[in-house]
Structure 1
Amino acid sequence: MSRIGRLPIPVPQGVQVEIDGLNVKVKGPKGTLERTFAPGVQVSLEGNQIVVTRESDAPMMRALHGTTRALINNMVNGVHTGFTKVLEIDGVGYRASMDGKTLVLNLGFSHPVRVEPVDGVTFDVDERTRQIKVMGSNPEVIGQVAADIRKIRPPEPYKGKGIHYLGETIRRKAGKSGKGGKGKK
Structure 2
Amino acid sequence: MSRIGNQPIPVPKGVKLDINGSFVKVVGPKGTLERNIRPEIGLQAEGDTFIVVRKDNSKRTRAFSGLTRTLVNNMIVGVEKGFQKKLSIEGVGYRAEVKGSFLNLSVGYSNPVEFALPKGVSAEVDKANNVTLDCIDKELLGETAAKIRAVRPPEPYKGKGIRYADEYIARKAGKSASKK
- Residues of 2 paired with 1:147 and 1:77: CA distance? 21
- Using the TM superposition, give the Cα deviation of residue 160 of structure 1 relative to its aligned residue in structure 2, in angstroms: 0.4
Partner of 1:109: 109
Show the 5 A alignment for 1:6-17.
6-17=6-17
Q: Which runs of 5+ in 2 are unaligned?
A: none
TM-score (norm 2): 0.93
Counterpart of 1:125 in 2: which secondary structure? strand
- Pick closer, same or farther for the CA change 1:46–1:165 going to 2, 3 Å: same
Counterpart code for 2:42: Q
Secondary structure (helix, strand or coil) at the match of 1:110 reads coil
Q: Which whole-Å CA distance do the structure 2 matches of 1:178 and 1:81 have between them?
A: 48
The answer to whether 1:34 aligns with 2:34 is yes
Alignment root-mean-square deviation, CA? 1.7
Contact 1:96–1:127, Cα closer than 8 Å, also in 2: no
Residues 22 and 37, structure 1, Cα contact 8 Å, conserved in 2: yes
Shift in CA distance, 74/179, structure 1 to aligned 2, threshold 3 Å: closer
Residue 56 of structure 1, CA deviation? 2.2
Once the two structures are superposed, what CA deviation does each residue of 1:105-137 show, in whole Å capped at 9, x if it has no partner?
A: 111212111112101111011126x21111101
List alignment gaps of at least 5 residues for structure 1.
181-185
Aligned partner of 2:164 in structure 1 is 165
Correspondence 1:125-140 to 2 at 5 A: 125-127=125-127, 130-140=129-139
Give 4+ residue runs of structure 1 displaced > 6 Å after superposition.
Answer: none
Q: Distance in 1 between matches of 2:50 and 2:14?
A: 15
Q: CA distance change for structure 1 residues 178 and 121 in 2, over 3 Å: closer, same or farther?
A: closer
CA 1:106 to 1:42, structure 2 compared with 1: closer, same or farther past 3 Å?
same
Equivalence for 1:183: none
**Distance in 2, Cα, partners of 1:179 & 1:19:** 62
What's the counterpart of residue 21 of structure 1? Answer: 21
- 1:178 offset after TM fit, Å? 6.9
- Report the CA distance between 1:45 and its aligned residue: 2.2
Summarize the Cα distance change of 1:19–1:147 in structure 2 as closer, same or farther, 3 Å threshold. same
Q: Secondary structure at the match of 1:5?
A: helix
CA contact (8 A) 1:97 1:127 kept: no
TM-score w.r.t. the length of structure 1 is: 0.91
Aligned position for 1:155: 154
Higher helix share: 2
Distance verdict in 2 for CA 1:110–1:68, change over 3 Å: same
